[in-house]
Amino acid sequence: MKFKIAFLALVVFSLVSCLKTKTDGVELLNSDKFEQKLDVENVQLVDVRTPEEFAEGHLPNAINVNVMDDNFDAEMAKLDKEKPVMVYCKSGGRSAKAASKLKVQGFKNISDLDGGITSWKQADKPIEN
Q: Which residues are catalytic?
A: 89
Cβ atoms within 10 Å, residue 96:
21
In angstroms, rounded to a whole number, what is the distance separating the alpha carbons of residues 112 and 105? 16
- Beta strands at 63-64 and 44-47: parallel, antiparallel or unpaired: parallel
Q: State which amino acid sits at residue 10.
A: L
